[in-house]
Amino acid sequence: MQLIHTIHDLRAWRKKQTTVAFVPTMGNLHEGHLRLVKEAKKQADSVIVSIFVNRLQFGQGEDFGAYPRTLEDDLKKLAEEGVSAVFAPNEKELYPNIKQDFQIEPPNIQNELCGAFRPGHFRGVATVVTKLFNLVQPDIACFGKKDYQQLHIIKTMVADLNIPIKIIGVDTGRAPDGLALSSRNGYLTVNERDHAAELFKQLSKIEVAIKAGEQNYALLEETAKNTLTQAGWDVDYIEIRNANTLNIAHMGDKDLVVLGAARLGKPRLIDNIEIHL
């Protein structure tokens, strides 16, 4: 496995490859990331993973400084998975002009759901992903469905801007109690961890109700929000949306996704379940 820190070396590596599948990450890798790598391996001759904590996608007061940086451990895990290369640039390499004057502005959906609580977040994601796509020039890129809105924005960006990369969404990895795997689970106290699967359980209840024919989506959202709030969560949103457009779900939509974001103690957890009627 080749460890690459510079754009110059990355371009030299890329010239020697045939088909390339790419997994962009911010490091602190867990089983969820390794699922992306396993999928990537099925898709192309070489797999490259990037590890870069992207300042642009963190808002004021968010955990950019505290975000776990565990490069040595990450490299061991990736070597065991048989990854061809890891691109781990420092900030100067990717943002020589730290302001990054030219940014990628996603459409309005960037201001809804998580975007309503994290202004500028998806602009930061779209900008770094575009830079990484231009640098790595992969044929395929894999993203987790846990970050459903991110995946939607990236798919839209690639389609609208004719970026010749196939985007693959990979199902969310879960702990045995259902908690979606996330680097931010590491911030949970032992007691919080015992209750952290409740978000997934509430989303699952909505799924069961919709599949049983319930059509009052507002009531389902409100009930889940209230249940979580009473259990001590600080809920940002629980929403049922059209899975293809991420617009508000309407009666008759067959592909739905129920998404939620809530804080349990310090960490803000997100999760979602796709529902196909």
Indicate whether 26 belongs to the interface with ligand PAF (CB under 6 A).
yes
Q: Residue 28 corresponds to which amino acid?
A: N
Does the footprint of ligand PAF cover residue 253 (CB under 6 A)?
no
**128 near ligand PAF, judged by CB under 6 A:** yes
**Looking at 18-26, 77-85, 172-180, 229-237, which segment touches ligand PAF (CB under 6 A)?**
18-26
Q: Which residues contact 211 (CB under 8 A, 6 or more apart)?
A: 275, 277
Least separation in angstroms between CB 26 and ligand PAF: 4
Kindly state whether residue 182 participates in binding ligand PAF, applying the rule CB under 6 A: no
Q: Which of 8, 33, 195, 276 is catalytic?
A: 33
Check binding of 125 to ligand PAF (CB under 6 A).
Answer: yes
Strand order in the sheet with 140-144: 2-4, 85-87, 46-51, 20-25, 140-144, 166-170
Told to check if 147 binds ligand PAF by CB under 6 A, we report yes
Measuring CA to CA, how many Å separate 211 from each of 172, 182, 200? 21, 27, 16
**Sheet hosting strand 255-263, strand order edge to edge:** 234-242, 255-263, 268-276
Cα 164 to Cα 69: distance, rounded to the nearest angstrom: 31
Q: For residues 124 and 260, which CB has a smaller minimum distance to ligand PAF in the complex? A: 124
Give, for 273, the enclosing helix (H) or strand (E): strand 268-276
Position among 28, 43, 54, 182 found at the interface with ligand PAF (CB under 6 A): 54
Residue 55-84 contact track with ligand PAF, rule CB under 6 A, x = bound: --x---------------------------
The reply to whether 127 sits near ligand PAF by the rule CB under 6 A is no
Residue 189: which residues within 8 A CB-CB, separation 6 or more? 265
Binding site for ligand PAF (CB under 6 A): 24-26, 54, 57, 125, 128-129, 147, 150
